[in-house]
Amino acid sequence: MRLIIDRIMKPVQRAVLLAVGMILVLSLPVRAEDLPRQLSDRDFWKLIADMSEPDGFFQYENFVSNEDDYSTVLPALSRTVKPGGIYLGVGPEQNFTYIATFRPGIAFVVDIRRQNMLEHLLYKALFEISSSRNDFVSRLFSRPAIAGISDSSTAEALLKPYEAAKPDQKLFDSNLAAIYSRITNTHGFALSKEDKTGITKVLKAFFDGGPAMDYRFASYSAPTPSATYTQLMDAADREGRRWSYLATEANFRFIQDYEKRNLIVPLVGDFAGARAIRAVGQYAKAHNAAVSVFYTSNVDEYLFRDAAKDRFFSNVATLPIDPSSAMIRALGGPGGPPVGFQLAPGKRWTAVWCSMPDIVKAFNSGRLQVRTDANRLCNK
């Protein structure tokens, strides 16, 4: 009799154990996937639409950066920042240099102006259709390609001849048509009439200014003179090394590959806003990733001034980070550097970096009340 009962119960027990096991497995947190190696066009555009905030205002056009010492942090950070994480940045082309250096799994560029998002779409199209750095520069500034440029040419040798070249209206028209076609036909991204006007405005600025243009070019609020596009691309760090995305053909190819795989995602967002920064953090958590670098430029200068810094640092505190995660900030400008910081000869800005864990810890403990408090946490 017992043998019969055992024969009946053992299958029942196994079934019960299997059912309990399945319940336990289903109740465990599901491990998120790793960062994608490529985004589909649909997913890329959806991220922009879902994560972005309404268009905002900034008093300068920002067609090009003005941070002439942006690479000074790269020798140290290139040795400590872990590749494969998430890069967060702001503004136009300087992000390409940081992305080429840190090699994240994916990059998000968040800027309060929709025009910056459109500028990055313009850059994306030009990267994708250009055959080389020389072809890219020719298209960006709408000037006929310069002969004699090779893969080994320096950034200065690449860009200087284009400063003397005259812009070509027919080339501008064909480039603009190619940009629209790449964005709307190849990728299927929907551009409004206002978006197309914005892209035309950006390309026209590069057409009019050429590589000699600087931050104040075509800006309705004219700041002081700053480094030209050529000078920014040829800028060296304090050790004499050049890092820009146009410094080498390899750097250019790296960014070109990221653009083709939809891995540089431009967003419209306020650093102190309720959506964009937090959405990047949620994306990182969903993919078991950390934000390895957050390049903030000098945005916190305006946030401290406008008493929005608590909202900004609250957003930062939601980001998943690791011990090596770094925040890159810009100090200086027309007002000069803060006390305790020095500018390199001939420079108007200096880039500094802070440990993001230290920044978050200081904020959570109430020790970030004024900008000087943040400065104390950065390297000198």
Summarize pLDDT for 62-100 with one digit per residue, the tens: 899 999 999 999 999 999 999 999 999 999 999 999 999
Measured in whole angstroms, the distance separating CA 28 from the mean position of its chain's CA atoms is: 34
Spatial strand order of the sheet with 106-111 comes to 264-268, 106-111, 86-89, 291-297, 326-332, 349-355
Distance separating alpha carbons of residues 217 and 280, to the nearest angstrom: 32
Contact 332, 342 (CB under 8 A): no
Half-sphere exposure of 296 (CA within 13 A, CB side): 29
- Backbone dihedral region of 293: left (phi > 0), alpha (psi from -120 to 50 degrees) or beta? beta
Per the model's pLDDT, the better-predicted residue between 233 and 34 turns out to be 233
Residue 262 is which amino acid?
A: N
pLDDT(325) > 90:
yes
Contact 86, 291 (CB under 8 A): yes
- pTM of the complete model: 0.90
Residue 90 is which amino acid?
A: V
CB-based burial label for 246 (10 Å; 0-12, 13-18, 19+) = buried
Q: What pLDDT, on a 0 to 100 scale, did the predictor assign at position 182?
A: 98
Confidence class for position 23, pLDDT limits 50, 70, 90 = very low
Domain ranges of the chain: 1-30, 41-375
Lowest mean pLDDT among 133-137, 299-303, 332-336, 347-351: 332-336
Summarize pLDDT for 205-248 with one digit per residue, the tens.
Answer: 999 999 999 988 877 665 677 899 999 999 999 999 999 999 99
Residues whose CB is less than 8 angstroms from the CB of residue 286 and which lie 6 or more positions away in sequence, other chains included: 32
Residues whose CB is less than 8 angstroms from the CB of residue 217 and which lie 6 or more positions away in sequence, other chains included: 61, 63, 64, 205, 208, 209
pLDDT(13) > 90:
no
pLDDT(273) > 80:
yes
Contact 249, 35 (CB under 8 A): no
First-to-final CA distance of the chain: 84
pLDDT(47) > 50:
yes
Distance separating alpha carbons of residues 292 and 264, to the nearest angstrom: 15
Length of the chain: 380
